[in-house]
């Protein structure tokens, strides 16, 4: 059996913004300042505020797939022309 890389779900803040995501356990330390890859490029200055339990990479990928599936099945994934979510 191969050893899997471990990840932790962390809450990170940058000025008045916050995000939650899985990051490698080796860098998931409260107070550490990180550079995160965002949709528009890399951003410096993200501070780790809280750290969850370690999970294996395969489990993290499963969580991501479940989240995407839930979003696509809900009305949160569809938008009207004005950019607002539709109600069923």
pLDDT for the residue 81: 47
Residue with tokens 């969580």: 63
Answer yes or no: is pLDDT of 10 > 90.
yes
Token pair for residue 44? 């410096």
Band of pLDDT at residue 34, cut at 50, 70 and 90: very high
Answer yes or no: is pLDDT of 79 > 90.
no
pTM of the shown model? 0.71
Residues of the chain by 3-state class (helix, strand, coil), percent to 5? 25, 45, 30
Alpha helices in 9-56 (DSSP H): none
Cα-based distances in Å from 15 to 10, 18, 63? 16, 8, 28
- Average pLDDT for the chain: 85
Flag the least confident range among 4-13, 37-46, 61-70, 79-88: 79-88
């Amino acid at each position: 059996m191969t050893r899997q890389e471990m990840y932790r779900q962390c809450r990170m803040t940058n000025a008045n913004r916050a995000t939650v995501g899985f990051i490698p356990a080796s860098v998931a330390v409260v107070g550490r300042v990180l550079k995160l890859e965002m949709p528009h490029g890399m951003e410096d200055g993200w501070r780790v505020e809280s750290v969850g339990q370690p999970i294996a990479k395969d489990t993290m990928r499963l969580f991501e797939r479940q989240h995407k599936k839930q979003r696509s099945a809900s009305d949160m994934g569809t938008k009207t022309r004005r950019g607002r979510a539709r109600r069923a």
